[in-house]
Chain A
Amino acid sequence: MCLGVPARIEAITGSEAKVVMGGIELRASLDLLDDAKVGDYVLVHAGFAIQKVDEEEANKTLELLKELGMG
């Protein structure tokens, strides 16, 4: 029920981040997240960053998918 997109933090001013996804720039509030920094990917929903995207986990998933697919 929830459109959330992964976007990269390009700049932070106070508790607001400028995030970019596919060349599109958005503003996202960081009020619901701790320790977000420039360069992090975050999940953005309704104008808020609600979680960091764990790149390591993302890669693990992709690796697993590749392995399973070839099995």
Chain B
Amino acid sequence: MTNYKLKNTEYWAHKNYALKMESIITLNHGSGGRITHELISNLFLKYFSNEKLNNLTDSAVLETENCSLAFTTDSYVVDPIFFPGGNIGKLAVCGTVNDLAVSGAVPKYLSSSFIIEEGFSLDDLETIVKSMAEEASCAAVIIVTGDTKVVPRGKCDKIFINTSGIGFLKKEFEKIGNASNVKPGDKLIVNGTLGDHAIAILASRESLKFESKMESDCASLNHIIQKALAVCPEISFMRDATRGGLGTVASELASKIKLGIVLNESAIPVKESVQAVCEIFGFDPLFLANEGKVLLVVPAEKADLVLKTIQQDDLGKDAAIIGEVVSENSGKVVLKTISGGKRLIDMPAGEQLPRIC
């Protein structure tokens, strides 16, 4: 038997049974779930509070004399930086374009800041920058300002990118981000299959040993959203279902509007291979990340029209009406299961972890 010396002895003193709130950041703080929300409310809003920020919409709406602007920012730290269907650069453009687009704005201008680790390959950097240019062109936005920093080896993980964006927002769409027009009876539509991005990323990492041909759904959604708005300016809410998945967006919405949401499990589009990974590792597809999916809330009488319109777009082929807003179960999201049963869905606290039990 060998006695091992411990690095420190603090652990001998454990008088309190209940676990106190620890003063360190964990991965859960970045997962988009409940713990992320608590960090935002308890820390960032505590110090930054103002009426614009407190709405916590995807883009801030800024009124000027002549029109309104939507303004947003996002940072991209994805690992691996190259994955099937895209790379960190493409993501950095799509993600910010989408945050503007789901607010009802027409995205126009992006900034792009790079923090690069010493030793990073110039070829890789060029591939990333080229992707960004291509995606910006696709989305009809231009990158008008930027910054570059290099840090010593080990001080950041390969490359981090921040993009901020400005879009023009018509007055009639200003309420979309806030969901103030959402009412019972409105239908929920999603433009395609859930979880593709999350599974593509997981398959590319070394940590879970499985192989899949899944590609990320990473895409700029502004064109498909503009098509939907053109046939239905009465769209009452939109949000892209990124980290935390569609389930988190629905939970946030229900909580914000203080109405209930009902989702039909059998209507929610999920690819077979995504479902298989969920069965193997115990994930819930509702909470897997997407990078090319938007949830639209539309008045019931326009739902079929919006659905048909977006189904004609490449990014909407698998679109479906997946649920509706109801007056019961205020603040809650109820899932009607494939077996005809019912259960509540709840925002996860942090990252979903694979399980064997």
Contacts and interface: CB of A to CB of B under 8 A. Distances in A.
Contacts of B209: 26-27
B356 A46 contact: yes
A44 B213 CA distance: 21
Interface string A12-29: 000000000111111100
A5 B279 contact: yes
B276 A21 contact: yes
Contacts of B355: 3
Contact of B357 (A1, A25, A26, A44): A1
Interface in A3-53: 3, 5, 21-27, 44-46
A46 B279 CA distance: 13
Interface in B14-58: none
A45 B357 CA distance: 9
Nearest to B273: A23
Contacts, number: 45
Contacts of A27: 209
A2 interface: yes
A22 B273 contact: yes
A22 B276 contact: yes
**Chain B CB within 10 A, most for which of A3, A21, A23, A44:** A23
Contact of A5 (B211, B273, B280): B280
A40 to B, nearest CB: 18
Which of A1, A26, A44, A46 has most chain B Cβ within 10 Å? A26
Interface residues of A, number: 14
A5 B273 CA distance: 13
A3 B273 contact: no
B210 A24 contact: yes
A3 B356 contact: yes
Contact of B356 (A2, A22, A24): A2
B174 to A, nearest CB: 43
B277 interface: yes
Contacts of B281: 3
Contacts of B123: none
Contacts of A45: 356
B172 interface: no
A26 B272 contact: no
B279 A21 contact: yes
A2 B209 CA distance: 18
A21 B357 contact: no
Nearest to A27: B209
B148 to A, nearest CB: 39
A45 B279 CA distance: 11
A21 B281 CA distance: 12
A23 B212 contact: yes
B275 A22 contact: yes
Interface in B138-158: none
A27 B208 CA distance: 11
Contacts of B213: 23
B96 to A, nearest CB: 32
30 contacts: A1-B357, A3-B279, A3-B280, A3-B281, A3-B355, A3-B356, A3-B357, A5-B276, A5-B279, A5-B280, A21-B276, A21-B279, A21-B280, A22-B272, A22-B273, A22-B275, A22-B277, A22-B279, A23-B273, A23-B276, A24-B211, A24-B212, A24-B280, A25-B211, A25-B212, A26-B210, A26-B211, A27-B209, A45-B356, A46-B356
Interface of B: 209-213, 272-273, 275-277, 279-282, 355-357
